[in-house]
Structure 1
C-alpha cells in the first residue's frame, strides 16, 4: 500500500504562523563601498552631535554660571546651568561612576555593532545615540569633581526655568532620545539593523506569492 503523506500544503497552514525575513530593497546585499558609506554616516553623525554638545556645554559654563535663566521663544525655552551628577531625570545621583561605566559599555557595543549595519535608518539612529553617549561620557570623565564622577552639564529647560515641567537637558540627551525613538520605530516596523525586513505572512500572502489562490474554507462552500 502506498504511503499517505500527512504534510499539508503551504496554503493550508494556519494563518500568521510563519515569520520571515526578507532583504530590504538594496539593503542586505550592499557592496563594500556602500557599507563604508553607512559607517561614514554613522560616525559622521556621532561626531557632529559630540562636537555640538561639547561646544554648547562650554558656552553654557562660560556664560550661564551664576547668571539668572535666559528666556527664549516667549518662555517656551530657558537657558539655565545645572550640573547633574545622576542620569536623566536626576536619577541615580549617587552612582555617577556606575553611569560612566555603563556609558562606556554602550559606546563599545555600538562600535562593535557598527560594521554589521546595512540599514541607513539604523545608521542614523545609532549615530545619534553614539554621539549623545560620548558627549555625556566626556563630562563624566573630565569634569569636576573627579574622573568617572564628573557632573554632566545641562542647560536647556522647556516652559519653566527650573525644570519643573521637563527635566533640564542638553544636546547629548536630545541625540540619545531622538536616536532611540528612531531605532524603536524601525524595529516596530520590522526593519532590522542588517537590512532585512521581518514580517509575518498570512495564508493569503503565501498563496498569492506562490501564484495560486487561497483554498476556500469549508464553511464558505
Structure 2
C-alpha cells in the first residue's frame, strides 16, 4: 500500500502545483487564454461544475460529485487491499486516487474543478479543457484495466 500512497501523493501534488502555477501565478483566471503550441497545446481557463465535459453541472450539487469521487477512491483502495497486485497495478491505483483527490480539493475550495489544458489537432477545434488530475485519473483507470484484464490482478511468479 505504500506504493499506492506515494503514487497518489505525486499525482495529487503535481495536479495542485500545476493548477496553482497556471491559474494563479500565470493569472490564467484573468487572461482566460494563453497559446503555448497552437493548435496542439493551449491554456484555456475553465470551471467544470459537472463531470467530464461539464456533464451534470447544472443538475447535481458539487457535494454529490465529491461524495461519488470519495466512494470510488474508497472502493479502489478496498479492492487493492484485497487483491494481490503487481507494482504497476499499485501505481495505477495510486494515480487514479491522487487525481480524483486533486479534483475533490478543487470542488471543496472553489465549488468546481479548475481546468486549463486544451488540445486541438488536424483542423478540429476542441472546445473542452481538462487538467493534470484528469490525466492521472484516465491513465490510472486505463492502466488498471490493462494490468487486470479479467478483473484479477496480474500475479508475479
- Report the TM range for the smaller structure's normalisation: 0.7 to 0.9
Aligned counterparts of 1:78 and 1:52: Cα–Cα separation in 2: 19
Query: Partner residue of 2:100?
Result: 133
Question: Bigger radius of gyration, 1 or 2?
Answer: 1
Q: Indicate the SS of the match to 1:75.
A: coil
1:60 and 1:81 in contact (8 A); partners too: no
- Structure 2 residue 50 is the aligned partner of structure 1 residue 86: yes
1:1-221 equivalences in 2 (<5 Å): 39-62=1-24, 63-94=27-58, 95=60, 96-116=62-82, 117-143=84-110, 150-159=111-120, 164-165=125-126, 167-188=128-149, 190=150, 192-193=152-153, 195=155
Give how far 1:166 is off.
5.9
What TM-score do the two structures reach when normalised by structure 1? Answer: 0.61
Unaligned 5+ segments in structure 2 are: none
Aligned counterparts of 2:28 and 2:79: Cα–Cα separation in 1: 38
Q: Indicate the SS of the match to 1:99.
A: helix
Paired residues, number: 150
Give how far 1:169 is off.
0.3
Aligned counterparts of 1:115 and 1:129: Cα–Cα separation in 2: 15
Change (3 A) 1:194 1:186: closer
Give how far 1:102 is off.
0.1
CA RMSD between the two structures: 2.3
The structure with the largest helix share of the pair is: 2
What TM-score do the two structures reach when normalised by structure 2? Answer: 0.84
Aligned counterparts of 2:45 and 2:148: Cα–Cα separation in 1: 36
Aligned counterparts of 1:118 and 1:159: Cα–Cα separation in 2: 36
1:64 and 1:81 in contact (8 A); partners too: yes
Unaligned 5+ segments in structure 1 are: 1-38, 144-149, 198-221
2:12 and 2:99 in contact (8 A); partners too: yes
Aligned counterparts of 2:144 and 2:131: Cα–Cα separation in 1: 20
